[in-house]
Homo-oligomer: A and B are copies of this chain.
Amino acid sequence: MILKRWLVGDPLKTAQARHERLSKTIALPIFSSNAISSVAYASEEILLVLVLAGTAAVTWSIPVSLAILFLILVLTISYRQIIYEYPEGGGAYVVARSNLGDKPALVAAAALMIDYVLTVAVSVAAGIAALTSAVPSLFIHREALGLVAILFIVVMNLRGVRESGKFFAVPTYFAIVALGLLVGIGTVRSLSDPSGSPGLASPAEVENLTLFLILRSFAAGCSAVTGMEIVSNGVKAFRPPESKNAATTMLWMSAILASLFIGISWMAYHHGILPKTDETVISQLAHLTFGAGIIYYAVQIGTMALLVLAANGAFAGFPQLASILARDGFMPHQMATFGDRLVFSNGIIILGLLACLLLVVFEGDPHALIPLYAIGVFVSFTLSQAGMVKRWLVKKGPHWQTKLIVNGAGALTTGIATIIIASTKFMQGAWIVFLLVAILLLMFQGIRSHYKAVKEQIALDRRGERPPLPRRNVVIIPISGLNRAVVRALDYARSRPGEIRAVYVDLDQEEGAKVKIQWAQWGGGVNLIALSSPYRSVLGSLLAYVEEVLEKDPNTWITVVIPEILPARWWQNILHNQRALMLKAALLFKERVILIDVPYHLTR
């Protein structure tokens, strides 16, 4: 508990919840670190696919990057409409549910949940790759470093929204500035020095570049736009006016993302940079632009910090989505419970555990994780935009035609992208995501139908029915002799008036006589019933007696008060209470029989 308080901080009152709302400057790093951080690997992933067709094929990185730039533009405009339309938070699940119904909404939710986990794993792995590009000796420790980073983020998030916002703001802004310098200075220098341009490929050299490969490089580059939806999930976390602030933040985010992404893609193309296993493309660009000086390290540290913190975006989104699902009955209720620091602690911990699992399974290698990535996000993008299209068609309202066109363009673009990603990445791992979506879907529906069945079973009728009249309650205290534990149990039983019977199984006449004498002194007037036991089975005789009482009065409760000796050390339990244990096991599922342990604590 003390450790928890030290790590997580003191509990916060509900009334403090409003003060936890975020200003735009704090919200930007929290909600956009995920999206912006994609620039660290998106350009590299495009190149990784294109070089399969030979080094000259990298010229195609520019048109592919421009296609993705277009995607960013479309998504920004469409998502701003969602932010205004859903000020309570318009994640894909909410939008799809309110417009398309349960099934599509659950598909979106499942896809998003998987992608949140992947976001954490990919971002942390890429962040560690940025670190090991600068400090190659750490390469062999990348898995362990990744786990430490995840643990760190989990603890930060358990401390609560605002504090983690503060914590993450400085490094995120630092990274944006560092990457901005790289792109800005690099571009200016490149433009002023045209000799740096690589030998451009002649058409003959790229003839083995197929359309499939180009589409696959586009699919790989789509990882750049992951995380763009997070702002729309968290509108409620903004200071009022929530929608307006969120929309502005979204705009800023997109602008930063777009300029960094296209800048890096262009520079890599311009300098003819190819991906390496032990050094990231950004590290290579930074070396080219700044040498091995302090600014190089600033870029690497900034990138790493941005990526590791990017995972934080998922830690804001995942628990929120889980809690919404829990409230709708698709996830266990406890996912909807606030922790004492105003955060959904359960969701944070589960996300952390799953991401650690992924990191271990894929040995901390970002390129191994990427094929699984982005599909989930694009499925939810598409469902989200399609939901908005349906909404405008049904709801109409002012300017609905324009809005319809915007979201329609969004739905079409993201839909096409989804098909491209799914078809080009399917064999490389995308099938795992589809399988997981199906499993999650079954789980959501199973949980929901269980809760529904429970609700029906425990529901009270509105009228007509009356509460039951008080019934009889026979209290039975099984004893095997007189001692302080028995006296304590008796003391407890006598604290409420009623019918109390101590029951003793007579195995030995001498012993029985002794018990009766002691009972006269200690029994406090409670009846002592001696049961004979022809089969020497204490348990059997007690059970038979309980059955007898139950049969005699088919309406009575029976309370079995068990005097239990609680040893000071756990292993001493093997020396005690074997009979009590068997008695409890035998009575546990008996209707109308209630068991009470009255513990007597030993001190040595």
- A77 on the B face (CB < 8 A): no
- A204 on the B face (CB < 8 A): no
Inter-chain contact A575/B11, CB cutoff 8 Å:
no
CA distance A323 to B565 in the complex (A): 22
CA distance A591 to B601 in the complex (A): 9
A455 to chain B, nearest CB (A): 8
Inter-chain contact A536/B603, CB cutoff 8 Å:
no
Inter-chain contact A604/B14, CB cutoff 8 Å:
no
Inter-chain contact A578/B498, CB cutoff 8 Å:
no
Inter-chain contact B491/A602, CB cutoff 8 Å:
no
A574 to chain B, nearest CB (A): 6
- A4 on the B face (CB < 8 A): no
CB proximity to B under 8 Å, residues A309-338: 332-334, 338
User: Who on chain B is nearest to A596 by CB?
Assistant: B596
Of the candidates A451, A482, A596, the one having the most CB atoms from chain B within 10 angstroms of its own CB is: A596
Of the candidates A454, A496, A600, the one having the most CB atoms from chain B within 10 angstroms of its own CB is: A496
- A192 on the B face (CB < 8 A): no
Residue from the list B342, B451, B497, B601 in contact with A498, Cβ < 8 A: B497
Inter-chain contact B460/A518, CB cutoff 8 Å:
yes
**Which of chain B's residues have a CB closer than 8 A to the CB of A453?**
602, 604
Inter-chain contact B485/A458, CB cutoff 8 Å:
yes
User: Who on chain B is nearest to A455 by CB?
Assistant: B483
User: Who on chain B is nearest to A468 by CB?
Assistant: B491
CA distance A447 to B567 in the complex (A): 13
Inter-chain contact B540/A575, CB cutoff 8 Å:
no
Inter-chain contact A473/B496, CB cutoff 8 Å:
yes
CB proximity to B under 8 Å, residues A481-510: 482-485, 487, 490-492, 494-498, 507
Inter-chain contact B575/A451, CB cutoff 8 Å:
yes
**Which of chain B's residues have a CB closer than 8 A to the CB of A470?**
491, 494-495, 524
CA distance A593 to B572 in the complex (A): 23
A290 to chain B, nearest CB (A): 50
Of the candidates A470, A473, A540, A598, the one having the most CB atoms from chain B within 10 angstroms of its own CB is: A470
Inter-chain contact A454/B602, CB cutoff 8 Å:
yes
- A471 on the B face (CB < 8 A): yes
Inter-chain contact A537/B333, CB cutoff 8 Å:
no
Given known A-B contacts A340-B535, A492-B594, A575-B447, A484 and B458 have beta carbons under 8 A apart: yes
CA distance A524 to B572 in the complex (A): 44
**Which of chain B's residues have a CB closer than 8 A to the CB of A495?**
470-473, 498, 557
CB proximity to B under 8 Å, residues A573-604: 574-576, 578-579, 589, 591, 594-598, 600-604
User: Who on chain B is nearest to A462 by CB?
Assistant: B521
A439 to chain B, nearest CB (A): 15
Count, chain A residues at interface, CB 8 A: 74
**Which of chain B's residues have a CB closer than 8 A to the CB of A518?**
460
- A13 on the B face (CB < 8 A): yes
CB proximity to B under 8 Å, residues A522-560: 522-524, 533-537, 540, 557, 559
CA distance A454 to B601 in the complex (A): 10
Given known A-B contacts A458-B485, A484-B459, A578 and B494 have beta carbons under 8 A apart: no
**Which of chain B's residues have a CB closer than 8 A to the CB of A458?**
483-485, 565, 600, 602
Given known A-B contacts A495-B471, A578-B334, A535 and B459 have beta carbons under 8 A apart: no
- A12 on the B face (CB < 8 A): yes
Given known A-B contacts A458-B483, A496-B497, A602-B457, A332 and B575 have beta carbons under 8 A apart: yes
Inter-chain contact A484/B467, CB cutoff 8 Å:
no
- A103 on the B face (CB < 8 A): no
**Which of chain B's residues have a CB closer than 8 A to the CB of A334?**
578-579
Residue from the list B471, B536, B572, B596 in contact with A14, Cβ < 8 A: B536
- A15 on the B face (CB < 8 A): yes
Inter-chain contact B536/A338, CB cutoff 8 Å:
yes
Residue from the list B468, B484, B491, B589 in contact with A457, Cβ < 8 A: B484
User: Who on chain B is nearest to A489 by CB?
Assistant: B594
**Which of chain B's residues have a CB closer than 8 A to the CB of A572?**
450
Inter-chain contact B574/A332, CB cutoff 8 Å:
yes
**Which of chain B's residues have a CB closer than 8 A to the CB of A576?**
454
Task: Mark A1-23 against chain B: 1 for CB-CB distance below 8 A, else 0.
Answer: 00000000001111100000000
Residues in chain A within 8 A of chain B (CB atoms)? 11-15, 332-334, 338, 340, 342, 447, 450-451, 453-454, 457-460, 467-468, 470-473, 475, 482-485, 487, 490-492, 494-498, 507, 518, 521-524, 533-537, 540, 557, 559, 565, 567, 572, 574-576, 578-579, 589, 591, 594-598, 600-604
Q: List 14 A-B contacts (CB under 8 A).
A: A14-B536, A332-B574, A340-B535, A454-B567, A454-B576, A457-B603, A457-B604, A459-B483, A467-B487, A470-B524, A475-B496, A496-B496, A591-B601, A595-B597
| Extra 17 A-B pairs, beta carbons < 8 Å, given A332-B574, A471-B491 | A11-B540, A13-B534, A15-B534, A332-B575, A333-B575, A450-B572, A453-B602, A458-B483, A458-B485, A459-B484, A460-B487, A460-B522, A467-B487, A467-B491, A467-B523, A475-B496, A496-B559
